[in-house]
Amino acid sequence: MSHPFFERHRATLDRAVEAIGSRGYWTPFPESPSPKVYGEGAAETGRHCFDALLNQRFPLTQPATVGQVGNERSPYGMKLGVTYPKPDIDGLMTAIEAAQSNWRKAGPEAWVGVSLEILDRINKSSFEIANAIMHTTGQAFVMSFQAGGPHAQDRGLEAVAYAWDQMRRVPAQATWEKPQGKSDPVRMEKRFRIVPRGVALVIGCSTFPTWNAYPGLFASLATGNAVVVKPHPNAILPLAITVRIAREVLTEGGFDANVVTLVAHDAADNIAQTLALRPEIKIVDFTGSTANGRWLEEHARQAQVYTEKAGVNQVIIDSAADFKGLVRNLAFSIALYTGQMCTAPQNIYVPKDGIDTAEGHLTFDEVAAGLAQGVEKLLADPVRAVEVLGAVANEGVLRRLEAARSLGQIALDTRTITHAQFPDATIRTPLIIKLKKGDRATYLNEWFGPIAFVIETDSTAESLAIARDAVVGHGALTMAVYSTRTDVIDRAIEVAEDVGVALSINLTGGVFVNQSAAFSDYHGTGANPAANAALTDAAYVANRFRVVQHRMHA
């Protein structure tokens, strides 16, 4: 029997499955925070809901709670004061195992229906979640709303669509009939059951807590697995709101709320490793540092581990039909959210003899100066600048900024901007450093934050060779090339396909190398060290369940 939530959202599901096949633009979740889209008063209501959470115990009741934890501080200068239930892990796992029994038996339509209802209600709470993201990650409000709200919801729905598309391929039953010549055929009745792998662990990150967590959360939930959500201690609130909504929907849907649980912890606690090695945990989704990702891959042997780790993203500039457009596009990509994105460009390779443009030849130094001037122009107005930059998420970014200033000749120095609304916010502009090709020890490491290197090479061919080595050795989620020459673009495509990295070609308009669209772009190929699995395809979902059969003579 179909679940009511499944029938309620069947049209959206069908359209989502169509979208992952066609790969064109589609979304059911509008990205504009306009009252014309979400209704008059929606923004004010969301802000009120967020404010009501501050300096309080978060309204989440879970079993095996042994205290309260939480010490989040907004990069805009205020302490949130929210505390969350601290669980006894043994007791929580016992409750999860009990909750999982009926959930596993409910079947794909119930799993998918509940997931879709959760996403629908999360969308209705987009303004509350956006404020939580802004004041935990440092993203500006519009980016918090878009990336942390509708775009993250798109990624969750994309995972549900893949889950349904894979599970519906498994028939519930079949009659097997084998001819036996003159004798009666052998007939068997076979039944096929989709069985979840087990408890899934989602390990959240501090910069994009919902955008990075929702694919794993909903891929596991929609395939019948219970999910433990472990946020980064600096960004608990957005995922706590998510878990609260999920538990409400589960209860209303006739299931035990403990199918989805929250494990919050303080910064010094190593609970992520403890959880990841629990025998009950059969799936791990992780976004974060290379060291932590590799540890999980090497040690959590009882689980299927999906990781998105650090990388060094590359840009190759060979020539330009529209140099001003190139500069505008790269300046925004470098500055957006202060470079605190896993897809942000870091290394920009330029031949030492310069490049040809429609406006004439430019030397290496002129290219570097043009990029610096583009960033300065973009951020000249402090009011506009803070909406592009957001705030610095942690002290590590500030330390890297200061250390990078001595690495080479400064093309553009970093500076502090004061936020008119939040004077205690930590805001820094990008730093651009000129380097030589021999400075590999510097630029082949990730410098997470608003740091870009313009690197002098002997030729575009060498630029592509260095970029290839960087992706093979250190991983990357994005690569870009600018060229007016077909042979260069063809070679860049060959390199990108060989090393397994997404390539953007001659971006000068309103699409940027560090943006990824759900239902269309494949974020993370799983073909280089930055991610051990493609994060938006059927394989990412299909390994979260098994098919078990039974058969008998007809």
Query: What does the alpha-carbon distance between residue 429 and residue 392 come to, in Å, rounded to a whole number?
Result: 10
Residues in CB range of 400: below 8 A, 6 or more apart: 447, 448, 449, 451
The full 3-state SS of 82-119, as one line of letters, equals CEEEEECHHHHHHHHHHHHHHHHHHCHHHHHHHHHHHH
CATH number at 314-505: 3.40.309.10
Q: For the segment 403-425, what is each residue's pLDDT rounded down to a tens digit? A: 999 999 999 999 999 999 999 99
CATH number at 4-309+534-553: 3.40.605.10
Residues in CB range of 469: below 8 A, 6 or more apart: 444
What is the domain partition of the chain in residue ranges? 4-309+534-553, 314-505
Q: pLDDT of the chain along its 554 residues, tens only?
A: 689 999 999 999 999 999 999 999 999 999 999 999 999 999 999 999 999 999 999 999 999 999 999 999 999 999 999 999 999 999 999 999 999 999 999 999 999 999 999 999 999 999 999 999 999 999 999 999 999 999 999 999 999 999 999 999 999 999 999 999 999 999 999 999 999 999 999 999 999 999 999 999 999 999 999 999 999 999 999 999 999 999 999 999 999 999 999 999 999 898 999 999 999 999 999 999 999 999 999 999 999 999 999 899 999 999 999 999 999 999 999 999 999 999 999 999 999 999 999 999 999 999 999 999 999 999 999 999 999 999 999 999 999 999 999 999 999 999 999 999 999 999 999 999 999 999 999 999 999 999 999 999 999 999 999 999 999 999 999 999 999 999 999 999 999 999 999 999 999 999 999 999 999 999 999 999 999 888 889 999 999 999 999 999 99
Query: What does the alpha-carbon distance between residue 484 and residue 465 come to, in Å, rounded to a whole number?
Result: 19
Contact 263, 228 (CB under 8 A): yes
Per the structure block, which two tokens stand in for 169? Answer: 């391929």
CA angle, 283 then 285 then 291, to 5°: 115
Q: For the segment 15-28, what is each residue's pLDDT rounded down to a tens digit? A: 999 999 999 999 99
- 302: helix, strand or coil: coil
